[in-house]
Amino acid sequence: MQNIYTVAQVNAYIKNMFTQDYMLQSISVKGEVSNCKYHTSGHIYFTLKDRSGTIACVMFAGKRSGLAFRMTEGMQVVVSGEVNVYERDGKYQLYASRITRQGIGDLYVKFEQLKRKLEEQGMFAAEYKREIPKYIRTLGVVTAETGAAVRDIISISRRRNPFVQIILYPAIVQGDAAVSSIVNGIHALEQIGVDLIIVGRGGGSIEELWAFNEEEVARTVFECAVPVISAVGHETDFTITDYAADLRAPTPSAAAELAVCDVQELFGHMQTMRERYCRGMERKLREAFLLLQNKKDRLKYLSPLSRIRDKRNLAMKLEEALQDAMERKILEKRQMLLLCAERLKGLSPLEKLNQGYSYVSTEAGKTLISVRQVKPGDRLKIYVADGFVEADTVRAKKA
């Protein structure tokens, strides 16, 4: 009866055959680098190819210390190591221990020649790069109808701004029909009148991305009336379309971030600007109010009515002061008059009469001060405190 083996047993048997083959344990293979990926773990995964075939290769992080350059698509290299089987997948691959540069691949030469040609024609000049509109209403996308690229662009655009209309032109992005499909997509979206176009696809080998290195695609991007963002492959992938576009994004996801503004961030910015504007207006109003108040006070100061009112107030104050001064002066004079009256009272002959004195006058009214003024028989008046007494002179004798 024929033996039946498990998949693991078969893979282990084949691996053992590879291990026992002396030539496969120490071999050097030359070819062109394709589909090269630098993994976050430090491993490098790539394909080595020539005109007739391909072989999968891997260089583990522990072997990279001797690699003095960074591998890129189309580079000709010599890979030294061992060919063995990866048992889990049942696939054989070349495990690299050393990689040296051999020369430049055909596609790389073609890439550099076209790049140099278009650069000399000024297609990559910064002066022709149009500014990417900050706020768009319609976004055109030229990429494959299915795949991570279109999903990422739509998802990120919707998250950032759900009001943006996305128009997808489902293009063929690799193979013989890719160039005409991409060109037709750009022309179609240009005719529709979208605000911005993203042209791109997900990552792949240099052959898979080659449609974006064709002159016709690059010229269509350059001549497009609508600004174009190129988003081809991964961050390390560069194509001619990247140089011809108005802006190059490292990935389709990054292109969506660059193309569509974050509406929440915009609303926040608008709120900040509104608050700043309100504060500015309040400050301006306060300044204007203070200036107006100052002018009003100055106008009030310069007004004839104000001056008349001030003069009237001054006159009233002076009148009050004059009234007070007159009253004080009258009071002082009254007090002085009373004092003088008291003094005069002490000197008054009438006051002497009250003290028991009297004085005598002749009939003619002259005060009698000498006996020689009278003779016997003359009538005299004797004044006392409460009246006078008339008397006749009997005798006048000098003392």
Say which CATH number the domain at 88 has.
2.40.50.140
pLDDT of residue 228: 96
141 and 249 part of one domain = yes
CATH at residue 174: 3.40.50.2300
**Do residues 158 and 141 make contact, with C-beta atoms less than 8 angstroms apart?**
no
In a domain? residue 375: yes
Same-domain pairing of 141 and 236: yes
Same structural domain, 178 and 70: no
Judgement on whether residues 161 and 246 belong to the same structural domain of the protein: yes
Report the run of H or E that residue 90 belongs to, with start and end. none
Q: Based on the fold, state whether residues 195 and 97 are members of the same structural domain.
A: no
Q: Is residue 75 scored above 60 in pLDDT?
A: yes
Q: For 322-347, what is each residue's pLDDT tens digit? A: 898 898 999 988 999 888 877 877 67
Mean pLDDT over 336-362 rounds to 77
Using 50, 70 and 90 to split pLDDT, how confident is the model at 246? very high
Final residue before a domain boundary, out of 242, 261, 280:
261
**What average pLDDT score do residues 38-66 get?**
91
- Of 218, 250, 209, the closest CA to residue 34 belongs to 209
What is the mean pLDDT of the segment spanning 101-106? 67
Same domain, 34 and 75: yes
User: Has residue 337 been placed in a domain?
Assistant: no
Of 74 and 43, the structure prediction assigns the larger pLDDT to 43
Q: Is the pLDDT of residue 104 over 70?
A: no
Query: Residue 245 pLDDT more than 90?
Result: yes
Q: Is the pLDDT of residue 298 over 70?
A: yes
Q: What is the count of structural domains for the chain? A: 4
108 occurs within a structural domain: no
User: Is there a single domain that holds both residue 145 and residue 198?
Assistant: yes
- Asked if residue 116 is part of any domain, the answer here is no
Of 233, 294, 283, the closest CA to residue 35 belongs to 233
Distance CA 247, CA 124 (A): 11
**What value does the mean pLDDT take over residues 84-106?**
84
What local confidence, expressed as pLDDT, does residue 383 receive?
A: 81
pLDDT of the residue at 373: 82
Pair 55, 147 in one domain: no
pLDDT-wise least confident of 28-37, 65-74, 88-97, 333-342: 65-74
Mean pLDDT to the nearest integer, 215-223? 95
What does the alpha-carbon distance between residue 258 and residue 256 come to, in Å, rounded to a whole number?
A: 5
Give the mean pLDDT of 305-333.
86
Both 172 and 213 in one domain: the answer is yes
Environment class of 46 (CB within 10 Å of its CB; exposed 0-12, middle 13-18, buried 19+):
buried
* Mean pLDDT (the chain, rounded): 87
Residue whose pair of structure tokens reads 């081809």 in the numeric block: 232
Spatial distance between the Cα atoms of 252 and 143, rounded to a whole number of angstroms: 10
pLDDT of res. 173: 92
Domain range enclosing 309: 269-322
Does residue 33 or residue 385 have the better pLDDT?
Answer: 33
Mean pLDDT value of segment 39-53: 92
Q: What pLDDT score was predicted for residue 206?
A: 77
Partnered with residue 85 across adjacent β-strands are: 92
Statement to judge: residues 250 and 284 lie in one domain: no
3-state secondary structure of 255: helix
- Residue with the bigger pLDDT between 95 and 105: it is 95
- pLDDT above 80 for 47: yes
Q: Is residue 327, in this structure, part of any structural domain at all?
A: no
Indicate whether 170 and 49 sit together in one domain.
no
Last residue of a domain, one of 228, 261, 294: 261
Q: How far apart are the first and last CA of the chain?
A: 207
What kind and span of H or E run contains 167?
strand 165-170
Question: Do 368 and 249 share a structural domain?
Answer: no
Of the three residues 84, 101, 118, the one that is the final residue of a domain is 101
Q: Is the pLDDT of residue 14 over 90?
A: no
Q: How confident is the model at residue 166 (pLDDT cuts 50, 70, 90)?
A: very high
Domain assignment present for 343: no
Report if residue 255 sits inside a domain. Answer: yes
- Report yes or no on 242 lying in a domain: yes
At position 387, the amino acid (one-letter code) is G
Band (pLDDT 50/70/90 cuts) for residue 378 is confident
